[in-house]
Structure 1
Amino acid sequence: MKAELIKQLQDYIPFNEQEEKDKEVIIEALINYEDIFYRSNLMAHITVSAWVTNANRDKVLMAYHNIYDSWSWLGGHADGDEELLQVALKEVKEESGLEHVTPVSSEIYSLEVLTVDGHMKHQAYVPSHLHLNLTYLIEATEEETLQVKVDENSQLGWFSLEKAVQASSEPWFRDRIYSKLNEKLLKF
C-alpha cells in the first residue's frame, strides 16, 4: 500500500512551488520511516484533509477548530490506515455529522507539509511536529444537518470561497493553503 502511495505521489503534478517542495519531503518520509502512518512518529506523520465543497463548487464547509482557535478545513490523522481517501471521508463524517459525502475524485487534490506547534490534547502534551498532509476534494450537500464534534470543533458552517479564506485566523493557511485550494477549485 505504501508503495502505491509513493507511486501516486511521484505521478502527482504539483500546482506550485510549495507543492513541488512538499512532495519531495512527503515521498522521502514515506521511503525512510516505517511508522509514518502513526502518531507515534513524534517528528512527522501522515494526515489527510478534505476541501468539502457543495455541488456548485461555490461554497466550502469549514469547522471552528478548538486547538487552533480558527476556522479550518476538516481532516485528521491516518492512525495506521493507508486508505487515505477513506480516512478523509471518515474524518468529514465524524467532524461534521454529515452522512452523505462523496469524493469528487479519488486522486489527491492537494498536498502540503504543515507545522504543528506543541499543544495540550486530552490533558497530555503533544510536541511540535509535522503533518505530511494529503488533501482530497469532497462533495456534500448544504441541506444536510451539521453536527459539531465537541472535542474537536465548536462551530460548522458553509462559506463562500472568499469568505472561507477570510474566516481563518491563520495567515499562512489563508495565504498559502486555502487560497491555493480555491484557485485549484476554479480550474477544476
Structure 2
Amino acid sequence: MTIRNELMAYCPYNEQEKKDKELMLRYIDQFSDVLKRENEFAHFTASAWIVNKERTKVLMAFHNQYQSWAWMGGHADGNADLLHVALKETEEETGLKNIKPIMSDYYSIEILGVDGHMKKGKYVGTHVHLNVTFLIEADEGEGTTIAPDENSAIEWMSLDEAIERSSEPYMKQVYTKLNEKLRNVQD
C-alpha cells in the first residue's frame, strides 16, 4: 500500500488533521520526491508516541537540536514504510529493543514547520515535515541509551508532564492531541 492510499484511508481526528491530510495528499501529487530530504520544501517524517503498557507514561528525549523534550522520529529518506522508519528511529534514539506498534495504522498526522538551522556544518533552509505518528508500546523497565548526536537525556514521563516539559509551543498542541486520542482509546 502506498503512503497516498494510507493517507486516503486515514480518518482525521480534528480540523488540523483534516487540513493536513488535504495538504499532504496535494504535496504527494505535486512532488515526486516527498520521501527524500532533497525536496527542500516538504518531505515525509515518521514519529513514535511511545507509551508504557498501562498507557500512563510516554517516553521522551531531550533533543539537542531543538533544546526541548520531544518524541522520537526521523526522516523517511526514501523509505515508504513509515512504520519501519518510526521503529528504526525509536531504536536508534533510545536503544530500546522490545518495542511494538500498538496498531500498524497511522495514529496521527501533522505538518510540522522546521526553522532554518545548521546541521553537520551546512545550513538547512526553513521547510515542513509531512509527519506520520505511530503509537508504540515499550517496556518501562527496559534500559535506554542516549544517542549523543540526537539527544542528551531520555525519561519516562506522565502524559501531562510530557506536555509541560516540552518547550516548543506547537509541539505542546501536538502532544496534547496525542494524549487526548490515547485517553479516548482507553475509554
TM-score under structure 2 length normalisation:
0.97
Structure 1: runs of 5 or more not aligned = none
Corresponding position of 1:186: 183
Say which SS state the counterpart of residue 185 (structure 1) adopts: helix
Superposed CA deviations along residues 69-89 of structure 1, whole A, max 9, x for unmatched, are 100000000000011101100
Match status 1:105 vs 2:96: no
Corresponding position of 2:121: 123
Structure 1 residue 52 displacement after superposition? 0.2
Aligned partner (choices 52, 55, 58) of residue 57 of structure 1: 55
Corresponding position of 2:142: 144
State the alpha-carbon separation in 2 of the partners of residues 101 and 154 from structure 1: 21
State the alpha-carbon separation in 1 of the partners of residues 28 and 98 from structure 2: 31
After superposing on structure 2, the runs of 4+ consecutive aligned residues of structure 1 that deviate more than 6 Å are none
State the alpha-carbon separation in 1 of the partners of residues 106 and 28 from structure 2: 16
Superposed CA deviations along residues 58-114 of structure 1, whole A, max 9, x for unmatched, are 000001011101000000000000111011000000000101110000000000000
Structure 1 residue 135 displacement after superposition? 0.2
Percent identity reads 51
Superposed CA deviations along residues 41-64 of structure 1, whole A, max 9, x for unmatched, are 000100011000000000000010
Say which SS state the counterpart of residue 172 (structure 1) adopts: helix
Aligned partner (choices 3, 11, 14) of residue 13 of structure 1: 11
Match status 1:95 vs 2:90: no
Structure 2: runs of 5 or more not aligned = none
State the alpha-carbon separation in 1 of the partners of residues 29 and 51 from structure 2: 32
Structure 1 residue 123 displacement after superposition? 1.0
Say which SS state the counterpart of residue 95 (structure 1) adopts: helix
Corresponding position of 2:132: 134
State the alpha-carbon separation in 2 of the partners of residues 9 and 81 from structure 1: 16
Structure 1 residue 12 displacement after superposition? 1.0
The aligned amino acid for 2:24 is: I
Superposed CA deviations along residues 107-148 of structure 1, whole A, max 9, x for unmatched, are 000000000000011111111000000000000011111100
Corresponding position of 2:166: 168
Corresponding position of 2:84: 86
TM-score under structure 1 length normalisation:
0.97
State the alpha-carbon separation in 2 of the partners of residues 36 and 5 from structure 1: 10
State the alpha-carbon separation in 2 of the partners of residues 135 and 31 from structure 1: 21
Q: How many pairs were matched up?
A: 185
State the alpha-carbon separation in 2 of the partners of residues 58 and 168 from structure 1: 17
Backbone CA RMSD of aligned residues: 0.7
Structure 1 residue 173 displacement after superposition? 1.0
